[in-house]
Structure 1
Amino acid sequence: MRPGGSPSPSKKASARDFRLFWWANAADALGTQASGAVLPLLLLGLGHSPQTAGLVAGLSLAAGLLLGPLAAVPADRGARKAIMVWSAAVAALAMGSIAVTLVVGHLTLPHLVVAVLVERFATACHDAASRGTVALVCPPGDQPRAVARLASADQGALVLGPALGGAAYQLFRALPFVADALSYAVVACCVRAMRTDLKAGDVPSDDPDNPGRSGDSDDGLLREAAAGLRLVRRRPLLRLVLTWVALVNGVAVTLYYSAVFVLERSGTGALPLGLVLAVTGAAGLAGSLAAPRAAARLGAARILIVVTWLLVPLTAALALADGPWTYGVLLGGISLLLPLPAVVLQARALLTTEPQLQARVGAVIATASGATAALAPVLAGLFADQVDSAVPALGCAALLVLLAAYTTRRAALTEAAA
């Protein structure tokens, strides 16, 4: 039995269900990258400004910030599988509506915004529910490797998704959104086919993060959602994970949208842009695959400190980038380094969080990360319209200096967690 009362799956069932979960994650990531890479180009092609494209992207990223933590509560209570299946179905319908409208008629900005928001609401619920799945499907000893394999799938989607999305967009503008809709259908089928009981059980009554402790079981959904926040506040390692992931994710999104706007303004088409993003995805895939071995050899603290400092000059150099190949080389270097500490930190967080609270803890970290990611494209679009294009890279480099100083101070904590 697992802590909290949920049965451990057999090794064979665990391997089968993790494969299904991996394929669901890979399909989701591939479809999202294919459509997401061309969404700004679609908006620009429809005659909207970079500022509008950045605002739409920011709204889509912000859409899930509220629903994610709330959806984590029923997921931890036992509705994890149902939430993942139905949210994938809703997201498929939303992306399908964009594709159909592009085929048969004129796609309006309100329709596009509503469809993107619905898709983001649905995926926020899916992501919140999925965060506890690895701990329920995989034995503890296999969980770090499972996290690395899932991260590799995400990075592999970055290799194929933008290139396929850019090529498909060149052929017919609706194709990337058809692919995204189909990917969500694959997600729903794979999750539905999983046999492992995805119920984490009850939080022990003596756990200080039990929202129902001391006879206080009727305080409501918000109190239960706040259990993850309380745990993050209590545990230094989780605070470090939240800070690092949130800031680095915001920096990465800012650099991505800045590159899109600069390259589009210079006349670069969808296919070259997709190839640039594919190069960065290939570098990220290599970093994800190397992360577990690098952590075992160098230690989590050293990886975290060295990588964060190395990101500073690479990010600052983007201020001087003037073409797709320059962006490809610099963004590729950043993408190669990012997964090394990210995979290590996520694995440590997974191993130190009770299964009954993993969805809620993950939702807290994702909300902080999503908040920075939602602001990033808005700022990138604003800078592209009204300020020098070098400003986003220099601002991100300054933030990374502060983050590197913070992670250096927390080196002892990370070493202890490793």
Structure 2
Amino acid sequence: MDVRRPFALLWISQALSQFGTSVSSLAYPLLILELTGSAAQAGLVGAVVAVAGLVTRLPAGSLADRRPPRPLMLAADAARAILLAVLAVSVSAGLAGIGPVLVVVGLEVCAGAVFGPAEFRLLRAISAPEERAIAVGRMQSRSQLAGLLGPLAGGVLFGIAPWLPFAVDALSYAASFALVAALPRAASSVDSGAGAVPGRERKSAWRWLRRDGFLLPAALWVAALTATFSAVGLIVIVVAQDRGAGSAAIGLMSSISAAGGLAGALLTPAIQRRLRPGAVFRLAALVDTAATVALLPLQSPVLIGVAGAVAFFSAPVVAASLFGEVSVRVPDALVGRAQSSMVLVVGLLAPVTPVLAGLVLDRSGSTGGIIACATVFAVLTVVSLVLPAFRRAAADAR
């Protein structure tokens, strides 16, 4: 079976879908600000996203292991297209309120939690075993593109008409539905995988992950790296403001940094072919340490953005290396649950990172924040060198 067409359909469908999601993600808080004038209530969007993802991610992974992925993906896309279309009409008619908007946010996240592990299983099924990790890497460029273009488009569309971003998101889900429906049946007919893992292991992805010896320690390490990385994102904005940058300059700085992530995503498959995950993790932590230290003397927003681009370059490679190993190592019957569990672990520190970064900035200023983050990156570099799980994985590769 030629897998190029199914892979291309999956890539395009989710590039469109993630672009639409990125557009509406900016528009949701803007809409609530317009409706209520309250920044605190606008912040509820992030809280609803976090809670809905936490509650639904593991059950969604279990569902993905028990049902064929294509119908789940179609149902998730159809539900999200309808939700966003209704919201767009409500906003256009002046009928939207904060309660219904937050309900739509939560339901959209729940549907996405179902779609994610189902797509992961399907991607694994259409890829040759030796190409599974690389296939995961090739998917990284779509989220980077969405992150680069979506917020800009969302702000422009909201300025034209507040309902437009949600209409665009609805259309993106409809397009994704059509492309997933167009997948060849031979490529999209994946069994539920029940029975592929004997005994009690069917009931617990956590048990399997603990026994694997590499994936869970790697996920915890990546969680710490990701949390520190997101803290740097906040600190960089404060640094730029402290050094005289205006909003336009900060926007340019953010775009330069995001371009580094896109470049990293485009090169991710080539890097995966040459470096094992442990080597990727060590190199990423070392580069992040150097890029963070480099922020200390910089004054120009452009140069700060370049330093951010250097750090952002490694983010998609790290994610692809981790989840590529999930795709390669995990038994068929546990793929959905394992993927959802790993996403949950990687995001463990996300809710507290902004608070911690804010406390450090309040107490020590932007310079203290830079030094704190560089120190954490340096510690993670050392951990990546001595962690037994990473050393065993390198020995296994040899």
Structure-2-length-normalised TM-score: 0.83
Distance 1:96 1:259 in 2: 36
Structure-1-length-normalised TM-score: 0.80
**Contact 2:256 2:309 (C-alpha < 8 Å) held by counterparts:** yes
Distance 1:77 1:284 in 2: 35
- Which segment is superposed worse, 306-315 or 393-402? 393-402
Q: 1:203 aligns with which of 195, 198, 201?
A: 195
Q: What is the deviation of 1:367? A: 1.3
1:193 counterpart = 2:182: yes
Q: 1:75 aligns with which of 52, 58, 64?
A: 64
1:98-117 counterparts in 2 under 5 A?
98-105=87-94, 107-117=96-106
Amino acid at match of 2:161: F
1:141 counterpart = 2:130: yes
Distance 2:31 2:372 in 1: 27
**Contact 1:160 1:278 (C-alpha < 8 Å) held by counterparts:** no
CA 1:321–1:76 in structure 2 vs 1: closer, same or farther (change >3 Å)? Answer: farther
**Contact 1:92 1:184 (C-alpha < 8 Å) held by counterparts:** yes
Please state whether the residue corresponding to 1:210 is helix, strand or coil.
Answer: helix
Q: What is the deviation of 1:75? A: 1.4
- Which segment is superposed worse, 122-131 or 294-303? 294-303
Distance 1:361 1:20 in 2: 24
Q: What is the deviation of 1:170? A: 3.4
Q: What corresponds to 1:3 in structure 2?
A: none
Q: 1:31 aligns with which of 5, 20, 23?
A: 20
**Contact 2:70 2:180 (C-alpha < 8 Å) held by counterparts:** yes
CA 1:188–1:277 in structure 2 vs 1: closer, same or farther (change >3 Å)? Answer: farther
- Give CA deviations for 1:318-362 in whole Å, capped at 9, x if unaligned: 688888645533332221122233222222221111122111100
- Which segment is superposed worse, 192-201 or 26-35? 192-201
Q: 1:362 aligns with which of 323, 334, 339?
A: 339
Distance 1:320 1:126 in 2: 44
1:416 counterpart = 2:395: yes
CA 1:73–1:108 in structure 2 vs 1: closer, same or farther (change >3 Å)? Answer: same
Q: 1:119 aligns with which of 104, 108, 115?
A: 108
- Which segment is superposed worse, 319-328 or 102-111? 319-328
Q: What is the deviation of 1:176? A: 2.3
CA 1:388–1:118 in structure 2 vs 1: closer, same or farther (change >3 Å)? Answer: farther
CA 1:244–1:205 in structure 2 vs 1: closer, same or farther (change >3 Å)? Answer: closer
1:394-409 counterparts in 2 under 5 A?
396-409=373-386
Please state whether the residue corresponding to 2:347 is helix, strand or coil.
Answer: helix
Distance 1:247 1:135 in 2: 27
5+ unaligned residues in a row in structure 1: which ranges? 1-9, 212-226
5+ unaligned residues in a row in structure 2: which ranges? none
**Contact 2:66 2:193 (C-alpha < 8 Å) held by counterparts:** yes
**Contact 1:162 1:275 (C-alpha < 8 Å) held by counterparts:** no
**Contact 2:6 2:126 (C-alpha < 8 Å) held by counterparts:** yes
Q: What corresponds to 1:306 in structure 2?
A: 283
Please state whether the residue corresponding to 2:201 is helix, strand or coil.
Answer: coil
**Contact 1:258 1:384 (C-alpha < 8 Å) held by counterparts:** no
Query: Matched residue pairs, number?
Result: 389
Please state whether the residue corresponding to 2:37 is helix, strand or coil.
Answer: coil
Q: What corresponds to 1:132 in structure 2?
A: 121
Q: What corresponds to 2:349 in structure 1?
A: 372
Distance 2:43 2:155 in 1: 19
Distance 1:291 1:61 in 2: 28
Please state whether the residue corresponding to 2:202 is helix, strand or coil.
Answer: coil
1:304-383 counterparts in 2 under 5 A?
304-315=281-292, 325=302, 328-377=305-354
Q: What is the deviation of 1:274? A: 5.9
Q: What corresponds to 1:47 in structure 2?
A: 37
**Contact 2:148 2:258 (C-alpha < 8 Å) held by counterparts:** yes
Q: What is the deviation of 1:239? A: 1.3
CA 1:43–1:370 in structure 2 vs 1: closer, same or farther (change >3 Å)? Answer: farther
Please state whether the residue corresponding to 2:195 is helix, strand or coil.
Answer: coil
Distance 1:207 1:20 in 2: 36
Q: What is the deviation of 1:197? A: 0.6
- Give CA deviations for 1:216-268 in whole Å, capped at 9, x if unaligned: xxxxxxxxxxx111111111221133113322333344444666799899996
Amino acid at match of 1:150: M
Amino acid at match of 1:158: G
CA 1:299–1:129 in structure 2 vs 1: closer, same or farther (change >3 Å)? Answer: closer
1:282-301 counterparts in 2 under 5 A?
282-301=259-278
**Contact 1:55 1:377 (C-alpha < 8 Å) held by counterparts:** no
Distance 1:246 1:350 in 2: 18
**Contact 1:95 1:116 (C-alpha < 8 Å) held by counterparts:** no
Please state whether the residue corresponding to 2:214 is helix, strand or coil.
Answer: helix
Please state whether the residue corresponding to 1:201 is helix, strand or coil.
Answer: coil
Q: What is the deviation of 1:70? A: 0.7
